[in-house]
Amino acid sequence: MNKKVVVLLCIAVLVVAGCSQAKKEAAIKVAMVTDVGGVNDQSFNQSAWEGLQRAEKEIDIKASYLESTQDADYKPNMETLFDAGNELIWGIGFKMADVLSELATMNTEQKYAGIDCFFEAPTPNLVGVLFREQEPSYLVGYIAGKMTKTNKVGFVGGMDFFVIHKFHYGFLAGVKEGNPDCEVLVQYADSFTDAAKGKAIANQMYKNGADIIFHAAGGVGDGVIEAAKEQNKYAIGVDKDQNSLAPDNVITSAMKRVDNAIYNLTKTLVEGTFPGGTNVVYGLKEGGVGIAPTSYKHVSAEILEEVKGLEAKIIAGEIVPPTSSEEWEAMQ
């Protein structure tokens, strides 16, 4: 190979490398602020980060995050990400709604989005993302009602507020659909991070006769699952497929596909179709919620077939799981 050809090849390699680096530097920057559970919570925040990581891999954005250790971190974390030049900033959790609304009003050219946030009149640069958590909760409740041997199951909630109520009352309705005689024990931990408290609550529920416990409590649920392992009982996970945390004990999970929502909305930013000024809702119909794919490990084929039928009825509007105590009482 003569020297001229070698020189030309070297130039070509440098040009390609330079273009690749320029493309990387030009990638749209998108970031998220976690709630207090942290990015490795095996649940809500982790699912959000996985969605951003997927977007980084598939649609050429540059993703990053900042973790919050207390509520007071939300605003400064978002301001830091704003100063860093992120085109879209995500807030993960309903408690960030006020901060997101405030900053979106202040920084009208900056795009913001909030998971589990509903905005009464969102500005054109702000999107709220909500889920019909009651739908997968109804399905796992039905599974619990069918599988309990003691006619007693439990629900452990994190904070006592509307999002967790959707899990609570959807689960309750599903249990009663599967087993009208089943009792449902309920306790809220007043925390999303206190795993020790979750374990203590679960141990007491198991002692009181529950043999399956569903948690919607973030890191508190780690303690619930730990108790299930130690007591050789069953647990139902939330947000992600949590079977890997206790393969012999987590029989199913009410999955909330925060990852899909993050990915889909981030993609609209890249495509120029960001739905600012709206609240977007994900349910079974939209592929935003569902039961864990590992459910077959513990749940019989017969019950899973029944669950498919219930899912179809929910999508068709023939079954409307309750979201609150008022809706539950109205069904009685």
**Res. 41 pLDDT band, cuts 50 70 90:** confident
Residue 48 and residue 145 in one domain? no
For the segment 162-177, the average pLDDT, to the nearest whole number, is 98
Please report whether residue 192 resides in a domain: yes
Please report whether residue 37 resides in a domain: yes
Residue 115 and residue 41 in one domain? yes
pLDDT for res 43: 82
Residue 156 and residue 47 in one domain? no
Which among 61, 93, 62 is positioned nearest to 77, based on CA atoms? 93
**Res. 44 pLDDT band, cuts 50 70 90:** confident
Residue 115 and residue 153 in one domain? no
Enclosing domain of residue 203: 134-255+300-331
Residue 96 and residue 237 in one domain? no
What count of Cα atoms within 13 Å lies in the side-chain half-sphere of residue 287? Answer: 6
Determine the 3-state secondary structure of 2 from DSSP.
Answer: coil
pLDDT digits (tens, 9 = 90+) for 77-91: 999 999 999 999 999
Please report whether residue 35 resides in a domain: yes
Which among 83, 153, 161, 155 is positioned nearest to 118, based on CA atoms? 161
pLDDT digits (tens, 9 = 90+) for 202-233: 999 999 999 999 999 989 999 999 999 999 99
Residue 66 and residue 174 in one domain? no
Q: What gap in Å lies between CA 254 and CA 252, rounded to an integer? A: 7
CA 31 to chain centre: 17
Q: What gap in Å lies between CA 57 and CA 282, rounded to an integer? A: 23
Is a pLDDT exceeding 50 seen at residue 23? no
Determine the 3-state secondary structure of 187 from DSSP.
Answer: strand
**Res. 60 pLDDT band, cuts 50 70 90:** confident
Tokens of 166: 């959707």
Residue 221 and residue 159 in one domain? yes
Q: What gap in Å lies between CA 324 and CA 167, rounded to an integer? A: 9
Structural domain count, the chain? 2
Instruction: Decide if 215 contacts 240 (C-beta within 8 A).
Output: no
Length of the chain: 332
Is a pLDDT exceeding 60 seen at residue 19? no
Name the CA radius of gyration of the chain, rounded: 22
pLDDT digits (tens, 9 = 90+) for 177-195: 999 999 999 999 999 999 9
pLDDT for res 18: 45
Which among 314, 261, 268, 270 is positioned nearest to 288, based on CA atoms? 261
Mean pLDDT of the chain: 93
Which among 210, 96, 112 is positioned nearest to 156, based on CA atoms? 210
Residue 202 and residue 72 in one domain? no
Q: How far apart are the first and last CA of the chain?
A: 85
Please report whether residue 144 resides in a domain: yes
Provide the CATH number for the domain around residue 46.
3.40.50.2300
| Strands, E assignment, 86-230 | 88-92, 111-115, 126-131, 152-157, 183-188, 212-216
pLDDT digits (tens, 9 = 90+) for 296-328: 999 999 999 999 999 999 999 999 999 999 999
Is a pLDDT exceeding 60 seen at residue 24? no
